[in-house]
Amino acid sequence: MSDAVRARELTVRYGDLVALDRVDLTLETGMALGIVGPNGSGKSTLLKTIAGLLTPAGGILEVFGTSPRSLPPGTIAYVPQIEAVDWSFPANVYDVVAMGRFPRLRLLQPFSKHDRRVVDGALDALRLGDLRNRHISQLSGGQQQRAFVARAIAQEPKLLLLDEPTTGVDAATEEALRELIRGLVKNGLPVLMTTHDLDRAADWFDKLLVVDRRVLAEGDPASVLASGAYAGIREHTHVHGHARSDTHGHPK
Amino acid sequence: MTDFLLAPFQYEYMQRAFIAALVVGTLCSTIGTYVVLRKLSFIGDGIAHASFAGIVVAYLRGLDYYVGALIVAIVTALGIGFVNRRGRVSLDTAIGVLFTGAFALGVFLMSRVPHYNIDLQSFLFGNILGVSREDLWLILGLALVVVVSLALLYRALLYTTFDPVVAQASGIHAGFVDYALLVLLAITIVISLEAVGIVLVAALLVTPAATAFQLTRRFTRMLVLSGAIGAFCAVAGLYASYYLQSASGATIVLLATILFFIAMAVGRRRMPLMGANLPH
């Protein structure tokens, strides 16, 4: 398997604040890597940096052997947390999912049958077919999250980055999402996902990374969960793995 | 009725005014869709006021007013974009600083000229009846540039307007798209100055788009509807100003404002759930 993402000594700062401190990470194609850690530990920062949204202050970051911003359009699909957009925007579910095709289209290139088929497939995969004509402001939080994931799937990316996609979704949707992601991974798509849900990490991921601005542990979920690093994080989480918001600067 | 509709066209200056109003009304309200959805309403006002400095400098140098206004408007638009992206101040603060500074420069330069014959009122409130043949060609040419650019950038503008972060992560150059929109906005504002003036151009950018937003939940429909509303307001407003002997720019904007409130009432009845999840 070749490396989809390779980070060495990756450091990211917000002004004087070090958000990520010399992080090493390797994600191979056909692998799902979970990132766990308390709030403010740099999980989302790591995803945004790999997505090319933030510039590293130091270290090496390669996505498919080059810098993220040098990749062809459509290579990376990023699913942020749902609060990020204005849900009163004039668009229905289909419109949002169809945006996933935009990076794949040239200027003025019309939406083809293939594009429509891919969008329909993404809607069906996320069980949004019945909601395709519904305005996005009329979706529940879980449905909004599914629409974001469907948009990412419609992009047919080479790398999928998911920022806590299970937040606010019901158990059935979470399981459907897990099966979908596992299916994509099985077909060779590398997936990097942040989560607070430590209890089901082994069901989701091939590899787990425990982060608190720096990497505390890395390996297969079972061994990481059994390690002291996991216990350290565990102390700062609620039941079912939801992290507390007051975990900045806790002793490691 | 035919006489009523055709009467203004017996004058050549009215023919030019109607064409200019139609183009400016359609263009402002079409690009205004992005202004409203990106919450950039203050920008139109800012760029319009800043362009005043360019008008004064052009007057002092004996240049065409359009050239001066266009240069200052584009520089201000890019400056606003740069300060917003790279600076540590919010967009409205960046606009507030840059446009008041540029407007003050215009007033300062003008106050230093002992005797000037520049028609200040026509730039502040518009003088669409004064659009010359040359002005009209310039308006049509620049409008074509804006329309073609908006068509080419359609998908990128839509995606970056809805979700700029994800659009950028997917490989769309959100920064370029933002700057391009600001430049197109600056061009649109400058070619609208003679029609509606510095003070009222922001209304033509915002009000038809805000009206369309009340009536539809689809982006493309909003874009088309906004353009149609802007075109209607510009032409109907010009007719009204002809028969009422009122200021054309103000009449156009007043008509757009009336339509906005009607649409608000209609929109609430048609789409009661629309605002249910709006952030407060």
In tens, the pLDDT along B207-227 reads: 999 999 999 999 999 999 999
Test A51 with B152 for CB contact under 8 angstroms: no
Residue ranges of chain B whose CB lies within 8 Å of a chain A CB: 37, 151-152, 155-156, 158-159, 161-163, 165-172, 213, 216-219, 221-222, 273-279
**SS3 call for A220:** coil
A74: which chain B residues are within 8 Å (Cβ-Cβ)? 170-171
Whether A103 sits inside 8 A of B171 (CB atoms) is: yes
pLDDT at A202 over 50: yes
B153: nearest CA partner in chain A: A107
What burial class does residue B208 get, using C-beta atoms within 10 Å of its C-beta: 0-12 exposed, 13-18 middle, 19+ buried? buried
Alpha-carbon torsion angle A101, A103, A107, A110, nearest 10? -10
A248 pLDDT higher than 50:
no
In this predicted structure, the answer to whether residue A49 has a pLDDT above a threshold of 80 is: yes
CATH number of B2-268: 1.10.3470.10
Q: How far is CA A44 from the centre of its chain?
A: 9
Q: Of B279, B84, B211, which is closest to residue A86 (Cα–Cα)?
A: B279
Say yes or no to pLDDT of A243 above 50.
no
Beta bridge partners of A218: A209
Judged by a CB distance cut-off of 8 A, whether residue A50 touches chain B is no
Would you state the pLDDT for residue A236?
53
Contact (Cβ atoms closer than 8 angstroms) between residue B181 and residue B157: yes
| Mean pLDDT confidence for A41-57 | 94
Contact A79, A161 (CB under 8 A): yes
Q: Are B55 and B167 in contact (CB under 8 A)?
A: no
Q: Is there a contact between A90 and B216 if contact means CB atoms under 8 Å apart?
A: yes
The tokens 């599914």 sit on which residue? A146
Residue B276 pLDDT class (50, 70, 90 cuts): very low
Q: What span, in angstroms and rounded, lies between the C-alpha atoms of A233 and A208?
A: 13
Name residues whose C-beta falls within 8 Å of residue B198's C-beta, 6 or more positions apart in sequence: B48, B49, B51, B52, B123, B124
Burial A92-118 (b: 16+ CB within 10 A, else e): bbbbbbbbbbbbbeeeeeeeeeebeeb
Residues of A in contact with B40 (CB under 8 A): none
- So where are chain B's domains? 2-268
pLDDT tops 90 at residue B266 = no
Say whether A90 and B158 touch across the interface (CB within 8 A): no
The question of ipTM being above 0.90 is answered as no
Residue A60 at interface with chain B, using a CB cutoff of 8 Å: no
By CA distance, what is B222's nearest residue in A?
A90
Average pLDDT, chain B: 87
Contacts of B217 in chain A (CB under 8 A): 90-92, 135
Residues of B in contact with A108 (CB under 8 A): 151-152
